[in-house]
Structure formats: C-alpha cells, structure tokens
Structure 1
Amino acid sequence: MKTPLSRITIVGGGSAGWMTALYLNRYYNSGEKRTAITLIESEDIGTIGVGEATVHSIRFFFAAMGLDEAELMRETGATYKTGIRFRNWKKPVDGKMHEYFHPFEEQRSPGPFDMATSWFSSDRPQGERYDELGCLSTTLANAGHSPKSPTSGPYQGIVPYGYHLDAVRLGRYLRRKAVEAGVEHRLGTVDKIELDGERIQAIHCGGARFESDIFIDCTGFRSLLMRQLKTDNWQSFEDALPCNKAVALQLPYPGDATPRPYTQATALPHGWVWEIDLQERRGNGYVYDGKRLTRSQAEAELRQHLGVPADMGKALHLEMKIGCLKSFWVGNCIAIGLSGGFIEPLESTGLHLINLSVRLLATHLNGADVAQPVKDSYSRLMNGIYDDLKRFIILHYCLTDRDDTEFWRQVAQSAKHSPRLEQDLALWQHKVCEFMDQAGSYATVFTDENYRFVLYGMGHWPQFPPLGSQAQHQAVRQQCQARAKMALEQTLPHPAALRALN
C-alpha cells in the first residue's frame, strides 16, 4: 500500500506558487484535511509582474477554485480579452499596414461547408481578412465591446474570453485566498538544501528546517531547487525562437482613451511590442532578440514606437530563458512555472502552462513515494505541451515576408526547427487546416481553429478549386453578418462591463 502524501512544500510565490498551492489544497484537502501544504517565499526576491494577459482557459481554473469573478477582476485591475490584434507582421500592401485578429472562439459555419472552405470558395470583398467574416470577436473588438451581456453569469460570455490583469496583484490575491483555505504561508529565503542523491531531504530558511514528501520549485528562472538536483537538464528553444529579452513600460492612458478588450502585438525591427490594457493603466513591452540589440537600444525603440520620452515611466528590463527542462520531475521535486520552462509571451501562455502543470501533477501525485514510470509520464507530457506550444509560436514568425532586418530574415526560416510544422505547412498549401491535422497534440488550448486564424491571417492560403455555389456562400455571409449584429446588440461596451464589476 502506498504511503499517504502528508506534506507538500512549495518554494516560491507569485502566480506559479499560489496557483499551485490553491489547486493542490483544494484537490487533496477537499472535505477533510489530509495533506499539509506550506508555501515559502522570500520578501527579498521580486515577482516578475509583466505577464499580464491570459488565454481563455484560465477562466476554468479560477472557476474551479471557487473564486468570485467580479472580485478577482477588481482585485487585479483586470479587463476582458477577446483575442490578439497582430500588426506589421508582414510587409504593407498598397501602403496599408498588415493586420489580423486571433480570437478564442470556435468557428461554427451555418452552411454545408466549414467556414474556411466557404471563405476560400466565395467571391469575397477585396482585402477582406479571414477573421472578418465569421468571427464575432473581431466585430466586438472593432466596436470596443466586451464579451459580456447584461445577463452573462460569472465566467460566461457571448464569446470565449481571457483577461488582462496585474500579475503582482494576482499573486497577492491568490495568496490571500490560499491562506484562507488553509495553506501555511512562511516568509524566508532558502539558504541551504539537504540532498540525498536526487532527493531533497529538507530545506533551510532563516534557521528553520522544512522536511517534506514533495517539494515544488516555483522559484522562476532561478530554478533554485531543480538546478541542485540534476545537471544537463535544460533544452533551449532559442535557435527557433530567438527573442530572449524584454523591456517593459507601464504608462497611464493617453488623453481620454479607455481600455481595449484585446491585446495588441505589433512587430518591430527586432521583435514585437505588446500593449495590454488594464483598468487603470496600459502595460507595454518590447520582446526582442538580445543578440541583436542592447538594452538601451531596445528601450529606445520601444519609447519611439510608443511616442514616450526618455524621462517618462521607469523601464523594467528582463532576461528570459526560452526552452524547458528535459525532466520536470526529479526525485521528490517538481518544477512548475518559469522554473520548468518558458515560451516567449506572444500568445499569453504563462498562466496557462501553470494551470496545465498543476492539474497534471494532481493526477500523477498519488502518494509520498511515486513510481518512476509516473514521474517519467509527467515529464513526457510536459515536454509534449512545450513542444506543441513552440510549434504554434514558430508559426507566427515563419510565414513572414519581412526582410528589412536580419532578425526577420532569420525567423522566416524558423519552421526548419519543427519538422512537424514543415510537414503541415506543405500540406496546408493544398487543403484547409482541419481538426484531424492537429489531433493528438498536447497543447489543447490551441487547436486547428487557432492555426487557421494565424495561417490565413499571415496569407498562407490553400489552393483548390472552389466548392459549392456562390448562393450558398452568400447565405453563409448573410447569416454571419446577422450573428455579428446580434452580438453587438447583446454585449456591453467594454467600459460599461468594467463598471458593472463594482
């Protein structure tokens, strides 16, 4: 009989630590307390607080934790996010900047063909984007509308949505909720780790000694526990995804601007800039290739793009490790969050990866002594998740036709670092991307529908003879337009939806 799991110790706070603590406490101690959970964090080490956008599936995590959505959004200064507007990722056409929208919603065709086949087969208006026909989120974003109707319940909307939120405030909010639920919170900096081979016996913090069945490393890029346990455990993705640094700048809204219900990602000469609107401010940041720009050059490019003088706002410079561990579970230690890996923040997957990691851990961690095949399964699945996300992020870069800098010439060739993607791109020259093309993938948040929005937004269109009649496709167009009109009538403008939180 397995030895019961009596104690879990999490080292590191922030979103990773407190999401992990909250979930595991609810999983193991629902109804009756069986497992003591302690989180140790240091007051001396700050939290990386610039990853402020999420994917839509994080709603399900917050809902499962019993968090009140309105309270969550008030406490974190959050706004709604219906997708990402990409700008300047290809060359301008006829003097117009390249642009497309990537939403979270499913594509439901009202006709006999799937939406992509109908769009490619129709006599569509010149210059119409793929997302402009059947995508309600595009309509809402263009009108500045939220995903919420006046009668929408918590975590429900007309279309799927994520959030823009203050990551530091999120960590504090989750800490309060976890402590209220019974998680022990200790302040201290780890100054000694007792090891027995690849197993942690105890950790020491400020004179206190902590033993535990399981230790969870949520110490960020420092990977404080994991790097003590196993050398040669890192695999870098920087050959395929060279953006390894960022500079962030938080600014007040200009003039009478109101928060936009979408993230904006604008390509610059050596990377791209995020613009993320919270209730009281706008978060901006330049993700760039640190081999091609110095910190001062990157900050200057960001300020020039935003039209912000050098003396306005304090810039925060970040070093990022792009890649993931080979083994996420070593001995009695598991890495979650940045200590396990990081894919650049282009599709806002940071909190999503924490969510996946801790849910997967809960089903694998079934006692104090876990069999090696179970640990290997966890690492294999986590590697699959990271590899799938890597492939999807490469997709955004490799379809560019920009050649104005060496950076863009390099990333245009990045598909060669993903043989699966190269194979798919060759296939999608001749047919639409469909569910079975991506079946069996690990990163379930990005499906064939997400691939289509990026593929067709970047102009990677299949070539095949039109199917069906123009009358059928015109009927689809009319029904899509009617649905979009109804969505606008039913949803609240974004500022009104935010006011309704109070």
Structure 2
Amino acid sequence: MSSSQLIKKITIVGGGSSGWMTAAYLNHFYNKTEKNVEITLVESKDIGILGVGEATVHSIRFFFAAMGLDEQELLRETQATYKTGIMFKNWMKPVNGKMHEYFHPFEQIKIGDNFDISTSWVLSQQNSGMRYDEGTCISSALIKAGHGPKAINSPPYQGVAPYGYHIDANQLARFLRKKATAAGVNHVEATVSKVNCDGERIISVETDAGTFQADYFIDCTGFKGLLINAVSDDNWISYEDALPCNKAVAVQRHYPEGIEPKPYTEATALSNGWVWQIDLVNRQGTGYVYDGSKLSKEQAEHELKSFLGPESEFIKTLHIDMHIGRRKRFWVGNCISIGLSGGFIEPLESTGLHLINLGARLLSTHLVNRQVSQEIQNSYSTLMINAYEDLKQFIVLHYCITNRDDSEFWLQAQQSVEYCPELKQKLAIWKHKICEYADLQTASTSCFNDENYRFILYGMQYYPDFSYSYDKNRMDSLFSKVKERCQQAVNFTQTHQASLAKLHS
C-alpha cells in the first residue's frame, strides 16, 4: 500500500465513555508500536454530568485487558464494584404473596447427564419451588452468600464466575482520558460551532479553539448526533413502538445505614417502567426508566424517591430524554457514529459500554485505508444494525411475557412482541421445546445467546411443555453435583466486602 492510501488523521468529537473508549482503543490498535495515525479528541469542558450507564456486561473485561490496563488501578480510580448479574424484581405478579424475582447471571453451565442442564431442570425441578437460576448456576449461590466472583488469588480479569463491573461512568472517562493522552492521543477542550460538509463527507469542524480536518471523523456527541446528522437526513429508526420507555430520572444517593454494596445490579419494575440500582463503593446510582407518555417528570421523580424511601440522602438528580432506536447507517461518507449518536436501547441489560466496545473494535477492522469502499462501509453498518436488532429483541422478551395487568403500561408491554415478529415465532416454538442456540442463530456481534434467553424465559416462568422419560435417581445425582459445585465456589471465593477492601485498600 502506498503512503497516499494510509490513514493520517482521525478526529473524534465528543468525550465521555464513548469518545475516550474509542480513542484509547484506536490509538492502541494503530499506534501501539509506532506513531502511524494522528488521533485527536475534541470535547467540551468536563461538566461532570450524571451518567446513566454505570453497569457493564462481563465482556467489557476483555476490552480493558486487550489494552493492557491494570484492572486494580482501573477499578480503584472508578469507585468500582464487581457485578455477577442482574436481579429482576416485580416483573411478574406476586407469587403466594411474595414479590416475584429472578437472577440473570453471566455464566454458562455446561454440566449435564443424558439431557442438558436446562432440559433436566424443566423436567425434574420446575415444580420444586426453587428458581431456575438457583438450581443451575454458581453466581446465584455466590450472591446468596454475599460473595463476589473473586478468590483471594484470582488473576486480573479472571474470577470463579464471569463478572462485569459497576463503574462511575464519568470517572471511567477521566481514567481513559489520562491513559489515552499519555499514549499520544491529542486532547482539545473546545465546543464545535460548525460542521463543514461536501455532500456526505465532512471537510472540517470549526470550534472556538480552531478548525480541525481529518481523513475520518467519529461522532461521539451523544443523543445530539452533531456530526452524523450533518451528513445524513432520514437516518433514524425508532424502537419506541416496541420499547416506549423514553425518559429517565436518575439520582445519586448515599447508602442508607447498614447497607453495603451488592455484587449485582437490581432492576425493579414499577408502575410504568423500572428502576435500576447500581452500587459503587462510595454511593449508589439509581434511576427510573419510564414511559414519558404515561408519567410526567414530576410524577416519575416522586415515584422513584418514594420507592427508595424517606431515609435516602440524595446527592444529585437528573432528568434525561432518551432517543430509543438506531441509525439506518452508522457510517456515512467519512463519518462514523459510536455510542449514543449511533443508537440507544434502554439500559435494562447494561449494554451501553458493550456497544461502544463493539463499535470501536469493528471500526478498527473496517477502517483499512483513506478511501474505504462503500461495501466496507455497508458491512460496518450492517454488523452494528444486527447488534441493535438482536438487543431490541432480547429486551422486548423481558416485557412481553409478563403477566402484570395492574396498569396500562404493563398491559401494553404484553403486546410489545407484535413489533418483533421473529421473537413472536420463537416464543410459540419455546412453548413446546427448550430454547437452544440453533433457534437464535444470532449474529456474532450479539451480546446474548440461548443461555441468556433461558435465564429470562424460565425466570419469568415461561416454561416449555414437553415430556421425556428420565431416571429420577440420575436427575437427583446431577443436581447434587450442581449444589456441590456451587458450595465449592462459595468456599473458594471472598465475600464481596473483602474483595472491595482488597481492591480499594
């Protein structure tokens, strides 16, 4: 390849998690051994806004590890705790007067005998009174014992069970900014005043600190989509028909007396949406994701604070308008949208940082020279579209199989599957057979597979109706092995508090 074909300059507009994750990753990719590409990030002065997405999926570990970041330093500087999954509460009617709940872990259990573990559980344990997650996975046993995923001698980025993090999103951005600028990324604090375009190509961006030109521009400006909107019209597909929760009220609060950080996220359903609770070392981040056509901002804030209780001491409150949907084209001309500028699906499964990771990683393999073909641009957009479509389907699953009928919101939630015809077809199939990988054929960019689907399906009591003959003694032996494995994991791991004390000492 001649030098004229090589990429010389990339300008990223917008900071936050999306901007600095992208800058750090691309700089590591292009400039690890020598300076090949000049990468500049232009962002407005840090105003310390309250982040919504402070929880992650477990694959984010691989992103940080790939860049050679020290895990303990990363987590210490972001007030982080460990996350082994999500506890869902109140997504179904109460059972025998008790609030319905289930746990969605990150792990995949492969143990089995004549049948796989899921089939075995449905056949022999469905009516035992035990939750599916409690009967099949280690993580449920860990959180019940108050344990995190780490043993005393667990290496960085490894644990007894897969794990993600609860992270202060603003501190993560500052940490990555420090690492990226030390590695050679140019950082400019400035506000963009004009985007100069020639058709679908950006020529330059004008700011109060000068004009910036580049071979490629990456839009990390959040919901504003400042760059991508400048080069494309009619470039948005809304998901609000299927996922109407388009508002959030987020708060930070001090821990109530006697409460310690939990190694899992909580997602509790309320009247017109759900509340997240994410425990950091120094505070709890929480917020109400709701349907803005059903509640006013004042009503939503009142319901959230009533749920949290009168003993709560609040630090900050922020109301957020969310654009639920995605781009039709994530790559237009020489502009690529990553993060909220590319799309957003409510943060029910903590996928915000995952989608940034995916966008940056795919960009590094597609951004091959200064003149990228339309086929390559289309490939990138298609892969990102697949990721958002898969995620949309998975999130709709959480809503459409509820039996709650106490509000118009939850009655409509049961109908949300009508906007996902492929999911509707699969649910009809899963009424009669186990959910398995071949049913999904999800794209390689998908974050969730058949095991994740089963934790939601069976946690929400959507069981298949089938009959196989089985040996009860063999089944009992199988689940005795599962219990034994769970107990071994508890014995081998530290309490979450001990892990945090070691991490933040």
TM-score bucket of the superposed structures, by smaller chain: over 0.9
What TM-score, normalized to structure 2?
0.97
Backbone CA RMSD of aligned residues: 1.4
Question: Is the aligned partner of 1:65 residue 2:67?
Answer: yes
Decide whether aligned partners of structure 1 residues 41 and 207 sit closer, same or farther in structure 2, where only a CA change above 3 A counts: closer
Equivalent residue number for residue 370 of structure 2: 368
Question: What SS does structure 1 have at the residue aligned with 2:150?
Answer: coil
Task: Show the 5 A alignment for 1:53-452.
Answer: 53-123=55-125, 126-308=128-310, 312-452=314-454
Structure 1: stretches of 5+ with no match in the other structure? none
Deviation at 1:112, TM superposition (A): 2.4
Once the two structures are superposed, what CA deviation does each residue of 1:223-279 show, in whole Å capped at 9, x if it has no partner?
011111111101000000000000011111111211100000000010000111000
Report the alpha carbon displacement of residue 143 of structure 1 after superposing the two structures with TM.
1.3
For the residue of structure 2 that corresponds to 1:90, the secondary structure is coil
Q: Which AA in structure 1 matches 2:413?
A: V
| Aligned-pair CA distance for 1:124 | 5.6
Counterpart AA for 2:203: Q
Indicate how the Cα distance of structure 1 residues 207 and 158 shifts in structure 2: closer, same or farther if over 3 A, else same. closer
Which of 441, 447, 468 does residue 470 from structure 2 map onto? 468
**TM-score if structure 1 supplies the norm length?**
0.98
Please say if residues 253 and 312 of structure 2, whose CA atoms lie closer than 8 Å, have aligned partners that are also in contact. Answer: no
Q: Distance in 2 between matches of 1:129 and 1:219?
A: 42
Matched residue of 1:148: which SS? strand
Q: Deviations over 1:95-130 (max 9, x none)?
A: 011110000000222422111110111156632111
CA 207–96 in structure 1, closer or farther in 2 if over 3 Å, else same: closer
| Separation of aligned partners in 1, 2:47 and 2:370 | 30
Unpaired runs of at least 5, structure 2? none
SS at match of 1:454: helix
Q: Is the 8 A contact 2:104 2:133 kept in 1?
A: yes
Task: Give the length in aligned residue pairs.
Answer: 502
For 1:315, what is the secondary structure of its paired residue?
Answer: strand
CA contact (8 A) 1:110 1:479 kept: no
User: Counterparts of 2:259 and 2:474 in 1: how far apart (Å)?
Assistant: 42
1:466 CA drift (Å):
3.3
C-alpha separation in 1, matches of 2:484 and 2:467: 28
Letter in 2 for 1:203: V
The amino acid across from 2:495 in the alignment is P
**8 Å contact from structure 1 (residues 79, 259) kept in 2:** yes
Q: Could you tell me how far apart the structure 1 residues matched to 2:49 and 2:224 are?
A: 12
1:120-141 deviation line (CA, Å, top 9, x unaligned): 1115663211111121001111
Structure 2 distance, partners of 1:192, 1:123, is: 62
Partners of 1:14 and 1:47 within 8 A in 2: no
Shift of residue 439 of structure 1? 2.2
CA distance in 1, matches of 2:75, 2:234: 41
Partner SS for 1:39? strand
Report if aligned partners of 2:255, 2:312 keep a CA contact under 8 Å in 1.
no
> Could you report, residue by residue, the CA deviation over 1:460-485 in whole angstroms, capped at 9, with x for unpaired residues?
10011134211111011110010011
Further displaced range: 466-475 or 332-341:
466-475
Q: Is the 8 A contact 1:129 1:457 kept in 2?
A: yes
* 1:308 Cα deviation from its structure 2 partner: 3.3
The worse-fitting range, judged by mean Cα deviation, of 383-392 and 430-439 is: 430-439
1:10/1:218 contact within 8 Å kept: yes
Q: Answer whether contact 1:16 1:337 (CA < 8 A) is retained.
A: yes
Q: Distance in 1 between matches of 2:125 and 2:296?
A: 48
Shift in CA distance, 28/47, structure 1 to aligned 2, threshold 3 Å:
farther
Corresponding position of 1:15: 17
